[in-house]
């Protein structure tokens, strides 16, 4: 009688639901990219100035307002989102630069 051995592959380990995510937001070409971000509470937004000129990261939306200030080329700033809602990010240097962040539970 021959024994049959079944080998099983270890499954891919998926990030747990509570694991905070990271969203990278670029600034090249006078635009934040992506133009809209869907995040969850606890996630971190990483603003990377991947452009060759300075930009700025300002949130003026009531309840979320913060000024991450001027960002020189190559620099990064981070912001962890702590509550649900939606807010706009703008560059005070280039008024056409916007991105919208929607934070879900
Ligand atoms: Cu700018």
Q: What are the pLDDT digits (tens) for 32-46?
A: 999 999 999 999 999
How would you list the strands of the sheet with 36-40, edge to edge? 36-40, 98-104, 85-90, 55-59, 66-71
Spacing, Cα 97 to ligand 1 middle (Å): 6
Q: What does the pLDDT look like over 14-38, one tens digit per residue?
A: 444 457 899 999 999 999 999 999 9
Would the CA dihedral through 17, 19, 24, 88 be positive or negative? Answer: positive
The number of residues making up the chain comes to 105
Ligand 1 center from residue 103 Cα (angstroms): 23
Question: Which residues lie across from 53 on neighbouring strands?
Answer: none
Inform me whether the pLDDT recorded for 4 exceeds 60: no
At residue 13, does pLDDT exceed 50?
no
**How much of the chain, in percent, has pLDDT values that exceed 70?**
83
What confidence tier does 3 reach under pLDDT thresholds 50, 70, 90? low
Domains in the chain: ranges and CATH: 22-104 (2.60.40.420)
Distance in Å, CA 94 to ligand 1 centroid: 4
β-sheet bridge partners, residue 67: 58
- The rounded distance, in Å, linking the Cα atoms of 39 and 25 is 12
What is the 21 CA–ligand 1 centroid distance (Å)? 25
**Residue, of 36 and 3, whose pLDDT is higher:** 36
pLDDT in tens, 53-93: 999 999 999 999 999 999 999 999 999 999 999 999 999 99
Q: Tell me how far apart the alpha carbons of residues 70 and 68 are, in angstroms, rounded to a whole number.
A: 7
Q: What is the pLDDT of residue 20?
A: 86
Spatial contact of 27 and 89, defined as CB atoms under 8 Å apart: no
């Amino acid at each position: 009688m021959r024994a049959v051995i079944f080998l099983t592959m270890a499954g891919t380990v998926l990030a747990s639901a509570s694991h905070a995510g990271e969203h990278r937001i670029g600034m090249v070409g006078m635009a934040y990219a992506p133009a809209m971000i869907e995040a969850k509470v606890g996630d971190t937004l990483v603003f990377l100035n991947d452009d060759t000129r300075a930009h700025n990261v300002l949130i003026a939306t009531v309840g979320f307002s913060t000024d991450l200030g001027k960002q020189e080329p190559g620099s990064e700033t981070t912001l962890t989102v702590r509550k649900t809602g939606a807010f706009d990010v703008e560059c005070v240097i280039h008024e056409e630069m916007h991105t919208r962040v929607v934070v879900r539970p």
